[in-house]
């Protein structure tokens, strides 16, 4: 979008909103996968803590734990009206109840997730019936591919609602067509014609309206990855009570795990406990490790050197088992590829995409990929990846084995382990040990060595 200095993709409504908002330059999802990310956003807990290990879909049925109390449930309990329009893709219903629901569960996802005219009317219906405090969650579907399920509409449903025969009509939308040769591709996407056409198709849908996202874009090094290209998020916060920093930028680190603490403070229903490091929010079923972002609306922190955000990925589709954990500070990132013995998995809709098919075909025929990695490098990853983002923002030079990096590696490793412990991560000892916390180990949980190095 224009706010983030894209000079091609036209996003006037979002840019107008940004002028009334604090703009986040360093906001990140806690997991680059749809349902796990939505569950983290709505519970304040990473997916390994709330139980949504992978995509919530009928045949695989990943669900959050029934004991989890999500944001809409907490708000409803306090008399705050809640609503959701668009993609829900989390469960069970008892954990994520909204008072007003217009989602893929009772509508076509194309209508409630991409038809902005219909979305507008549904939002108006909800707002016209609200006299009390409310929370409305509008989840657009345009960041997602649709070519594998609805190929007639294009790779990103860019033809849906454009007025052509059989495509339907979205009255509030005048489609914008982008020329592939005019695009400036980010470093992590192959500089090929197929990839350019692919990105141009997504730009058309982004120009509909894309206020936010919950996971990385469905391109190589994007979704399902914990590199910045997979977890970086656009984020604005606009508040009528905070005008001090409107149309300003913050470089403070923020996570989607911060959304619940932020909204709980906004509604004045947080329970806080002061620690020596930060405010931690507590609930009966676990610790929230995020923080409220409201102070940023008033003032930029004087010292950001101790800031860190964390990420946790386990699965996307049910066959895509590749657990990873991550800590990112202002300067460094450490990724733990727990299943590093196996090749990095590829999801179904991305596999069929023009971009990935072109990478496959070029690899098989020995052609230049015009990409910053080889396919083999993309599939096969080391157990630990450490990057100095100051000098290596593209995350190409893994410095984990350098002697000069030993101290920072050990420090980040300890901080990551501490976060895993705070969030009851079942993978805390993997892959070189077994976590024992019952029976003889109930009062003294331990990682017991597998001797599998």
Please give the positions annotated as active site: 34
Angle CA 131–136–140, to nearest 5 = 150
Half-sphere exposure of 7 (CA within 13 A, CB side): 4
Quick one: which of 14, 23, 28 has its CA closest to 206? 14
CA 27/CA 394 separation, integer angstroms = 17
- Please give the C-alpha separations between residue 117 and each of 114, 129, 135, 166, 262, in angstroms, as whole numbers: 9, 19, 21, 18, 30
Phi and psi at 360, nearest 5°, equal -60, -50
Phi and psi at 324, nearest 5°, equal -140, 150
Which residues, 6+ apart, have CB-to-CB distance to 441 below 8 Å? Answer: none
Q: For the purposes of burial, counting CB atoms within 10 Å of the CB of 389, is it exposed (0-12), middle (13-18) or buried (19 or more)?
A: middle
End-to-end CA distance of the chain: 46
**Cross-strand pairs, 436:** 446
Quick one: which of 151, 176, 149 has its CA closest to 162? 176
């Amino acid at each position: 979008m224009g706010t983030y200095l894209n000079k091609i993709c036209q996003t006037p409504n979002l840019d107008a909103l940004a002028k009334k908002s604090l703009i986040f330059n360093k906001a990140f999802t806690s997991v680059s996968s749809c349902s796990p990310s939505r569950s983290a956003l709505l519970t304040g807990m990473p997916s390994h803590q709330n139980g949504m290990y992978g995509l919530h879909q009928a045949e695989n049925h990943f669900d959050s734990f029934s004991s989890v109390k999500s944001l809409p449930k907490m708000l409803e309990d306090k008399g705050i009206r809640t609503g959701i329009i668009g993609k829900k893709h989390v469960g069970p219903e008892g954990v994520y109840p909204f008072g007003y629901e217009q989602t893929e569960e009772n509508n076509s996802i194309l209508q409630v997730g991409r038809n902005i005219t219909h979305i507008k009317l549904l939002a108006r219906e909800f707002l016209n019936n609200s006299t009390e405090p409310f929370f409305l969650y509008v989840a657009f579907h345009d960041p997602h591919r649709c070519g594998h399920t609805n190929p007639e509409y294009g790779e990103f449903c860019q033809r849906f609602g454009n007025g052509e025969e059989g495509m339907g009509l979205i009255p509030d939308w005048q489609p914008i067509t982008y020329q592939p040769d005019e695009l400036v591709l980010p470093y992590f996407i192959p500089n090929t014609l197929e990839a350019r056409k692919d990105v141009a198709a997504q730009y058309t849908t982004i120009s509909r309206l894309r206020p936010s996202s919950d996971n990385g874009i469905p391109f190589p090094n994007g979704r399902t990855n914990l590199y910045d290209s997979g977890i970086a998020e656009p984020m604005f916060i606009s508040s009528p009570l905070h005008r001090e920093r409107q149309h300003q930028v913050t470089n403070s680190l923020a996570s989607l795990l911060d959304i619940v603490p932020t909204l709980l403070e906004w509604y004045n229903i947080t329970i806080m406990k002061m620690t020596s490091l930060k405010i931690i929010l507590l609930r009966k079923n676990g610790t929230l490790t995020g923080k409220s972002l409201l102070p940023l609306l008033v003032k930029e922190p004087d010292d950001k050197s101790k800031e860190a955000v964390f990420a946790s990925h386990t699965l996307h589709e049910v066959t895509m088992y590749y657990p990873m954990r991550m800590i990112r500070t202002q300067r460094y990132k450490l990724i733990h590829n727990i299943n590093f013995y196996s090749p990095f998995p590829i999801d179904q809709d991305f596999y069929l995409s023009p971009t990935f098919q072109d990478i496959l075909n070029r690899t098989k025929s020995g052609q230049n990929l015009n990409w910053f990695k080889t396919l083999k490098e993309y599939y096969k990853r080391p157990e630990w990846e450490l990057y100095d983002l100051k000098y290596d923002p593209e995350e190409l030079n893994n410095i984990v084995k350098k002697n000069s990096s030993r101290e920072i590696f050990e420090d980040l490793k300890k901080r990551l382990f501490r976060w895993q412990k705070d969030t009851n991560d079942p993978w805390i000892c993997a892959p070189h040990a077994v976590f024992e916390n019952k029976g003889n180990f109930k009062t003294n949980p331990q990682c017991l060595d597998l001797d599998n190095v």
